């Protein structure tokens, strides 16, 4: 008897649909052992996650609050994925976007709410976009690996924001805490139902729709898909791949930057350390799980929002570190990758001896 692997002629749609769900289930199972090892009952923990994140109006609002930045960042990362470009720098782009929006909110002197919103939006858009655009230029012009550049720029962005809030932008009335002053009312989103749920969510869903139309219904979107799947053919067809690489990374970073705008305008109302507790990294998983679909990003972001809210409550209840969520996300990705194998290949037991 031996195991043989053979490629499937066609991968079944059922398998492709159920693989991500199965991966999450297996990851939950394995993470259960990690929970057990740290002295927490997995069933109690999972029940707690569901109740905290979905069991009440307040819980649901908190989940949507976390879903909001994840949608923006996930959209940004998945747009780059479309062209086989890896934007691992959404985290830094969120920080730069938040910085741009904060600059407008604190120092522009705009009084009108809508003018302020538009100005903050574009400041975040361009700061995030240019930050990613650096990697885009390096990649397009000199073939520099964008994975490493975008990632290293995360550290620089976070340190830069630290520099601002510990230095020039520190609130003079802030008792020396590393925070900027609070924004005025003109620079804040509307909040609903007496919760922290804010308009950023609607902006995020709107962005997802726009991006969906952009990819599926415009020539530019078509070019991105072609360059992603076959760069050589794209070049023969006369597409400017270098320009497209810069453009896609710029747009990818710009969308992630809007998450920064949404966080400062909707939630924090000031710039401070930890404005994003790793949303940019979670976005990579979201983009991969959503298989590059903009609508998929919204759905998966919500699932990750559930996980993050649940993770927070596990920290409160059992003092589990928040970073535990990362271990869980890593497991999901591992199993997702493994499941891809079984979508493409069929493993069979056949009679015979192993030869090679």
Partner 1 sequence: MVEILLDATVRAGTPILFATLGAIINERAGIINLGIEGLMLIGALAGFAGTYLTGSLLLGVLFAFAASFLAGSIHALITVQLRGNQIVSGLALTMFGVGITALFGKGMVGLTIVGFKRVAIPGLSQLPLIGRPFFNQDLLIYFSFLLVFVIWFFFYRTRWGLGVRSVGENPAAADTCGFSVSTYRFFAVTIGSGLVGIGGAYLSLASTPMWIENMTAGRGWIAVALVIFAGWSSPRAMLGAYLFGGITAMQLRFQAMGTTISAHVLQMLPYFFTILVLVISTQRIQKGASQQPEGLGLPYDREDRK
Nearer to partner 1 (CB atom), residue 3 or residue 219: 3
Q: How far apart are alpha carbons 286 and 303 in whole angstroms? A: 9
Which residue in 87, 66, 92 sits closest to 77, CA to CA? 87
3-class SS of residue 307: helix
The nearest distance, CB 324 to partner 1, in angstroms, is 5
Is residue 256 packed enough to be buried (19+ CB in 10 Å), middle (13-18) or exposed (0-12)? buried
CB of 218 to partner 1, least distance (A): 28
Using an 8 Å Cβ cutoff, are 189 and 266 in contact? yes
Cα-to-chain-centroid distance, residue 120: 20
Q: How far is the CB of 71 from partner 1 (least distance, A)?
A: 19
Query: For residue 115, how many other CB atoms are within 10 A of its CB?
Result: 12
| Least Å from the CB of residue 32 to partner 1 | 13
Residue number, 81 or 122, with CB nearest to partner 1? 81
* Nearer CB in complex with partner 1: 60/79: 79
Binding site for partner 1 (CB under 8 A): 7, 34, 37-38, 86, 88, 138, 142-145, 147-149, 151-153, 155-156, 159-160, 162-163, 166-167, 281, 284-285, 288, 319-331, 333-334, 337-338, 340-341
**Is 135 or 267 the residue whose CB approaches partner 1 more closely?**
135
Shortest CB 165 distance to partner 1, Å? 9
- 85 close to 254: Cβ distance less than 8 angstroms: no
Measured from the CB atom, the residue of 6 and 216 that comes closer to partner 1 is 6
Q: Which is nearer to partner 1, 19 or 110 (CB)?
A: 19
Count other Cβ atoms within 10 Å, centred on residue 206: 10
CA distances, 290 to each of 74, 233, 241, 356 (Å): 9, 26, 25, 37
Give 35 or 258: the residue with its C-beta nearer to partner 1: 35
Buried b (16+ CB within 10 A) or exposed e, 20-49: beebbebbbeebbeebeeeebeeeebbebb
| Min CB(79)–partner 1 separation in Å | 17
| Residue 178 token pair | 């590393």
At its nearest, how many Å lie between partner 1 and the CB of residue 327?
3
């Amino acid at each position: 008897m031996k195991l043989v692997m053979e490629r499937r002629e066609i991968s079944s749609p059922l398998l492709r649909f159920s693989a991500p769900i199965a991966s999450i289930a297996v990851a939950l199972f394995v993470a259960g052992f990690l929970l057990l090892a740290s002295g927490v009952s997995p069933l109690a923990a999972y029940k707690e996650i569901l109740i905290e994140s979905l069991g009440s109006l307040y819980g649901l609002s908190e989940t949507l609050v976390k879903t909001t930045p994840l949608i923006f960042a996930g959209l940004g990362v998945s747009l780059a994925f479309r062209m086989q470009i890896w934007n691992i720098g959404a985290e830094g782009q969120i920080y730069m976007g938040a910085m741009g929006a904060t600059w407008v909110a604190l120092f522009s002197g705009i009084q009108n709410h809508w003018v302020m919103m538009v100005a903050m939006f574009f400041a975040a858009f361009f700061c995030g976009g240019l930050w990613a655009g650096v990697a885009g230029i390096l990649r397009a012009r000199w073939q520099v690996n964008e994975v490493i550049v975008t990632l290293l720029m995360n550290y620089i962005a976070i340190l830069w924001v630290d520099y601002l809030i510990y230095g020039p932008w520190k609130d003079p009335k802030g008792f020396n805490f590393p925070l900027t002053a609070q924004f005025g009312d003109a620079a804040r989103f509307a909040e609903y139902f007496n919760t922290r749920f804010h308009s950023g969510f609607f902006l995020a869903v709107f962005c997802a729709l726009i991006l969906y139309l952009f990819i599926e219904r415009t020539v530019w979107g078509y070019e991105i898909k072609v360059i992603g799947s076959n760069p050589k053919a794209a070049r023969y067809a006369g597409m400017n791949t270098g320009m497209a690489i810069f453009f896609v990374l710029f747009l990818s970073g710009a969308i992630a930057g809007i998450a920064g705008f949404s966080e400062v305008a909707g939630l924090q109302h000031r710039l401070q350390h930890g404005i994003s507790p790793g949303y940019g990294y979670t976005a990579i998983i979201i983009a991969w799980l959503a298989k590059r679909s903009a609508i998929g990003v919204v759905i998966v972001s919500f699932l990750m929002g559930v996980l993050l809210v649940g993770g927070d409550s596990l920290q409160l209840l059992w003092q589990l570190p928040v970073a535990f969520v990362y271990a869980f996300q890593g497991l999901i990705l591992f199993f997702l990758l493994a499941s891809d194998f079984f979508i493409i290949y069929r493993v069979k037991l056949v009679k015979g001896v192993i030869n090679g």
